[in-house]
Chain A
Amino acid sequence: MTARSEHTDTWAMPDRPETPFRRGLRALLHKRVAVVSILVIFVLYGAGTYTFLDAFGVDTGLQDPTKTNLSERRSTRIVDGEPESLGVFAERLAVDIALISELNPDLAEQFGPLTPSTVLPGQTEIVLGVDETLQPPSSRHWFGTDRTGRDLFSRSLFSLRTTVIITVIAVILGDFVIGLGLGLLSGYRGGRLDSAIMRLADLVLAMPGLVYLIVIVAVFRDRVTEWFRALEESTGADWLIAQGVDDYVLIVAATSLLGWAGAARFYRGQVLSLRERDFILAAETIGARTPRILVRHLFPGVMPWFVVGFSAAMGAMAGAEVVLTWLGIGITAPTPSFGTMVAAAGGFTSLTQYPWMLLVPTLFVLPILLAFNLLGDAITDVLNPRLR
């Protein structure tokens, strides 16, 4: 925002000269937009991380996000060719007949008042509970329920877990490990290695990213699930597909495969100027090897720029999940994710009838994307004070 706060805290004169990173961080924390964005991200990612406890068997107090709150339905039996009476039926399933008549008004209308001696035709379906489908937000279901009665509040929190897993791993792998790693290596070593890596990056950059993301995910979708099924059989870890690990791996791999090129090219450019500096020459003179120079000397120099890319990539990733899942090639059914929630919400007619179905995932996705978006902008501004 404005430059007002730049020189106000003269009392905070540090003993040692402040590092560029600390100075940047301080400038960033003076920006209200940045602070609010960081808070939003912390709260939402914290909520998503909280649901990890569930995977370790801790009671989170949340409903099972995949549990449908459909009422139980049972049919009357035929014993020795004779249909059982309602009294026998009620005793067998330990339900109250008054409740049955209340929940089955159509039966009472058809066969008269329901008493223990009432005999219904065999295989009559009797509703034993209340359906909780498509309920608007209430104290029992804070964000309402969907078409099969699943609680949208707990589904949202578990969807946040999916977002946390996908965004963090994809960005660490694509931007950090591959992108930053190849970029530093390419820029520092130069020569043939540099040309090879950069030609490959050019190629990837020439391909329209989102379109190829769709193609790659569509192509490998069935394959990856097959691999994981084989893996489950050989290791006995039967929770892999049920927890959606195959989906995570597929999406993360596909985005990393496409996402590294821009990052590598950018970091290479930064390193090209850094490597001419005296401190690199000094490190080389005392015999430091390439890995040490990359990690201890070059990485700190490009670190601030990594944070910018990091923020933008996290937001892009969270959005890509929604689009891919909506197209039917992202996260698949039992795993809760915002994409599946949006897809389940349906179109315009559903929105007018059951607005919470679409608004609930929107109220989570929008703040996440917006916070990362604005945070990335704020960091860029801090790094480029000239453009403020």
Chain B
Amino acid sequence: MGYGPLPILLRRLALVPILVFVVAAATYALTHVAPGDPVKIIGGARQVDPEQAELIREEFGLHGSYAERFGRYVWGVVSEGDLGPSYYYRSPKRSVQELLGERIWVSAHINLMVLALIFGLGIPIGVYVAVNRGTWKDPATIGFLKIFDSVPSPIMIVLVVWLMVEFLAPFFNFFGFNVPAAWTPGDPASYIVPLVALSIGAFGGMGRFVRISMLATMDEDYVRTARAKGLNERYILYRHVLRNGLLPLSTNFGLAVVGVIAGSIVIETRYGIPGVGAFIFESITQRDWNVILGFTLLVATLIIVANALIDVVYIFIDPRIRFTERIA
């Protein structure tokens, strides 16, 4: 194949289903080979005799050889988007896609708001410290923000609730908000805690990332040329530096998504948000492997597709791309 934008683009997109399949195979193997007999999990504490065990296996699609089971699973996913039955919710029998589908919108809209916050505030912070490089403001801002980056999410959520509910209550009351100590459906004030807890740790890293890529761009020849032409500093910053300095940021997108999803497992559980994150915590406790498998596949696919789309966008924005660094 050639080196024009189109072949690169096609090659990049062709990689997506292959990667998804290999990741799916690895994840399936992980959850179906290692944990012992799923029949024990399904049967619970009851003693299961061999005949019953066979029935349970058939009911949950666990009969036959490993290859048959995996084939059935893949076919189910591809043909009708079926992620299989949950081991825990079995009377009435629920499928993984139903269970995840009921909860995904709560999580998705919160997580998207968090991502918007991380990028929306992280970029200006990065620009601010890059512009103020060499002064005390630069290390002080990043150092201060890194404190929040160093608080693990199980501690962060409790501290944020305490800060918002005890400490800042008068402030929020002034604006007519009453921040609840747990998620209350329909109350806009209950967004404050999860949004803060999920985003606050990301600003330090994001700010530093933007700063480094801005500073690298500031050293480019075309910036020097612009300055030599006598252009206004502000104009150079926004028209020349910012545009190119923000390009590498797209590589951070996948990382940010994974960070938010992982964080939401803890935050949703602790704050009582009925989303996918809290559900996954429950599934880990119940050893509900099909749910964990389905969720992991969903996240992995999301990341792989997102990364591919970013690369595609990159091809159009930045003609210098030669795909030497990132494949996935």
Contact = CB atoms under 8 A, between A and B. Distances in A.
Interface of A: 1-3, 33, 202-203, 205-212, 214-216, 218-220, 222-223, 269, 315, 319, 322-323, 326-329, 339, 342-343, 345, 347-349, 351-352, 358, 361-362, 365-366, 368-370, 373-374, 377, 384, 386-388
B292 A218 contact: yes
Contact of B147 (A219, A339, A366): A366
Contacts of B30: 215-216, 219
A276 B164 CA distance: 57
Contacts of B300: 206-208, 211
Interface residues on B, range: 35 or more
Given A220-B34, A348-B162, A202 B150 contact: no
B321 interface: no
Nearest to B214: A387
Interface of A is mostly: helix
A342 B212 contact: no
B141 interface: no
A374 B266 contact: no
B106 interface: no
Nearest to B34: A219
Interface of B is mostly: helix
Contacts of B165: 348
A319 B156 CA distance: 12
A342 B155 contact: yes
Given A211-B299, A219-B31, A370 B212 contact: no
Nearest to B156: A362
B285 to A, nearest CB: 6
Contacts of A345: 158
A377 B146 CA distance: 10
A211 B262 contact: yes
Contacts of A342: 152, 154-155
Contacts of B181: 348-349
A327 B154 CA distance: 9
A323 B153 contact: yes
Contact of B281 (A210, A327, A339, A365): A327
A215 B27 contact: yes
A223 B35 contact: yes
A387 B129 CA distance: 12
B228 interface: no
B328 interface: yes
B150 A370 contact: yes
A92 B102 CA distance: 63
A387 B215 contact: yes
Nearest to A380: B212
Given A208-B296, A342-B155, A387-B216, 17 more contacts: A202-B19, A203-B328, A206-B328, A208-B303, A210-B262, A211-B258, A215-B30, A315-B150, A322-B155, A323-B153, A323-B154, A342-B154, A348-B165, A365-B150, A365-B152, A373-B204, A386-B215
B40 to A, nearest CB: 10
Most chain-B Cβ atoms within 10 A of its Cβ — which of A212, A315, A365, A384? A212
Interface string B134-147: 10000100110011
A358 B150 contact: no
Contacts of A373: 146, 149-150, 204
B26 A203 contact: yes
27 contacts: A3-B134, A207-B27, A207-B300, A208-B300, A212-B296, A215-B292, A218-B292, A219-B30, A319-B152, A323-B152, A327-B281, A328-B284, A342-B152, A347-B158, A351-B159, A351-B162, A361-B155, A365-B155, A369-B149, A370-B147, A373-B149, A374-B143, A377-B146, A384-B212, A386-B215, A386-B216, A387-B212
Contacts, number: 153
Contact of B261 (A211, A328, A386): A211
Nearest to A321: B152
Nearest to A272: B324
A214 B292 CA distance: 10
Interface of B: 19, 22-23, 26-27, 30-31, 34-36, 133-134, 139, 142-143, 146-147, 149-155, 158-159, 161-162, 165-166, 181, 204, 208, 212, 215-216, 219, 257-259, 261-262, 265-266, 270, 281, 284-285, 287, 289, 292, 295-296, 299-300, 303-304, 307, 325, 327-328
Contacts of B281: 327
Contacts of A368: 150
Most chain-B Cβ atoms within 10 A of its Cβ — which of A1, A210, A211, A377? A211
B22 A203 contact: yes
Nearest to B136: A1
Contacts of A361: 155
Nearest to B280: A214
Contacts of A269: 325
B151 A205 contact: no
B154 A366 contact: no
A87 to B, nearest CB: 48
Most chain-A Cβ atoms within 10 A of its Cβ — which of B219, B257, B328? B328
A249 to B, nearest CB: 15
B139 A1 contact: yes
A366 B151 contact: yes
Nearest 4 A/B pairs, CB to CB: A369-B150, A206-B328, A210-B262, A326-B154
Contacts of A33: 139, 143
A42 to B, nearest CB: 18
Contacts of A216: 30
Contact of A207 (B23, B204, B208): B23
Nearest to A199: B327
Nearest to B308: A206
B275 to A, nearest CB: 15
A306 to B, nearest CB: 19
Contact of A206 (B23, B155, B212, B295): B23
Nearest to B208: A377
A329 B22 CA distance: 26
Nearest to A329: B284
A54 B184 CA distance: 48
Contact of A211 (B149, B212, B296): B296
A205 B26 CA distance: 13
B146 A218 contact: no
Contact of A366 (B150, B259, B266, B287): B150
Nearest to B302: A208
A368 B151 CA distance: 10
